[in-house]
Amino acid sequence: MPAESTLTRIHQAAKAEFLEKGFRGASLRNIVKSVGMTTGAFYGYYKSKEELFEALVGEPHDYLIGRFKDAQREFAQLPHEQQPEVMGDISGLCMYDMLHYAYAHLEECKLILCCSEGTRFSGLIDEMVEIEVESTHTYLAVLNELGRPSPKIDPKLEHILITGMFHTFFELVIHEMPLRDAENYIREMRAFYTAGWMKIMGQ
């Protein structure tokens, strides 16, 4: 049997096992058995359950984090006086890009969001929150430099609001909303959060 075909079958069996039981509850023995191979043969492909999970979700995880970081970097590199005018455009494009990527890699993204406890991937939302918090503080400094209102935000409230925003976004993926509906929900969600942040920032 060709190696590529066997690897595809391993990945399919692993996705099913991880999606049903999560990383911690998943049995490598069940995965190997469902493919009809020996454990020894499996170790010719991966050294551990962790390495197998990494093979499934590493690339989607890195894309989501990378796309989000790129958007923040693109925004920060704009002339300061231009930033207040285009903030919504850049963040909106980023969210739509991440949504479309997630829908094109739905099983892998659901593994990250719902089944990754016990791996480094379970911190995806926390990583994004920290990036967003840092970017928010940088933007507030820009507003201050421009002589615009830049109120201090309670750190706990800030963390709660940003965390809630990302959970709201990824709920669309977790529940597999029809893509067109998900796009509409993002539009409404962005309007909701943008209005709230503008109010907090006194703009």
Tens digit of each residue's pLDDT (9 = 90 or more) over 13-55: 999 999 999 999 999 999 999 999 999 999 999 999 999 999 9
d(CA 202, CA 163) in angstroms, rounded, equals 21
Can you say whether residue 153 is alpha, beta or left, with left for phi > 0 and alpha for psi between -120 and 50 degrees? beta
pLDDT band at 3 (very low <50, low <70, confident <90, very high): low
- Domain spans of the chain, in order of start: 1-47, 57-200
The CATH class given to the 57-200 domain equals mainly alpha
Confidence at residue 203, expressed as pLDDT on a 0 to 100 scale? 60
pTM of the model as a whole: 0.90
Confidence at residue 202, expressed as pLDDT on a 0 to 100 scale? 65
Q: Out of 2.10.109.10, 1.10.260.40, 1.10.10.60, 3.40.50.720, which CATH number does the structure's domain 1-47 have?
A: 1.10.10.60
Confidence at residue 58, expressed as pLDDT on a 0 to 100 scale? 98
Structure tokens at 36: 């009809």
Residue-averaged pLDDT of the chain: 92
Confidence at residue 121, expressed as pLDDT on a 0 to 100 scale? 97
d(CA 6, CA 3) in angstroms, rounded, equals 5
**DSSP-assigned letters across all residues of 44-104:** TT-SSHHHHHHHHHHHHHHHHHHHHHHHHHHHHTS-GGGHHHHHHHHHHHHHHHHHHHHHH
d(CA 26, CA 76) in angstroms, rounded, equals 42
Single out the residue of 140, 192, 184 nearest to residue 165, CA to CA: 192
